[in-house]
Amino acid sequence: MTDAELILADGNQKLFPCEVCGRRFAADALERHGPICRKLFNKKRKPFNSLKQRLQGTDIPTVRKAPQTKAQPVRKSNWRQQHEDFINAIRTAKQCTLAIKEGRPLPPPPPPSINPDYIQCPYCRRRFNETAASRHINFCKNQSSRRVFDPAQTAAKLASRAQISSGPCFWSKTQTRIY
């Protein structure tokens, strides 16, 4: 070791740096420290598992997450269809703007494009993506089984509402309607 590496502590003893960790020790302490330091630095430390530490001594079992083995299918991109729909929407908007400027009646709206990835509800005929469809179809099935549409009942309800709103109305001093 060179003189530059030697450091005097208290002016009496020379300190030598450890080859592994760089800490400085007296010559006799360095002889004991060297093998221990090499042994420690050769080992890889395991990552600390705080969950295991917390659950130690309790009767709570550790739960391991199962890896997902279900591979999701790759869907074919329908960018071309989306692009054509976008172009048609722009053309229709330009036709509407031109018709408004010239005072002509507006052209009919373009037919809605149907997304082939969506699933149609058999009860209400609306379309949803897969996850929303699975929730909605169950809900719609329950709702349709509860509701029974009777045209006579619907007409009677509308007639009673119309009769209430067109019936005699008196204004009180506080300006509230009294039927």
pLDDT surpasses 90 at 95: yes
Rounded mean pLDDT of the chain?
78
Segment 116-139 shows an average pLDDT of 89
Considering only residues 133 and 75, tell me which one the structure prediction assigns the higher pLDDT.
133
CB under 8 Å to 55, separation ≥6 — which residues? 62
Considering only residues 178 and 36, tell me which one the structure prediction assigns the higher pLDDT.
36
Considering only residues 76 and 125, tell me which one the structure prediction assigns the higher pLDDT.
125
Distance (Å, rounded) from C-alpha 127 to C-alpha 132? 9
Q: Is residue 94 very low, low, confident or very high in pLDDT (cuts 50, 70, 90)?
A: very high
Segment 85-92 shows an average pLDDT of 91
What are 1's two structure tokens? 């070791």
pLDDT surpasses 70 at 30: yes
Q: Is residue 105 very low, low, confident or very high in pLDDT (cuts 50, 70, 90)?
A: very high
- Side-chain half-sphere CA neighbours of 51 within 13 A: 5
As a 3-state breakdown, the chain gives helix, strand, coil percent values, each rounded to 5, of 45, 10, 45
Distance (Å, rounded) from C-alpha 86 to C-alpha 92? 10
pLDDT surpasses 70 at 109: yes
**Domain ranges within the chain, ordered by starting residue:** 7-46, 115-145
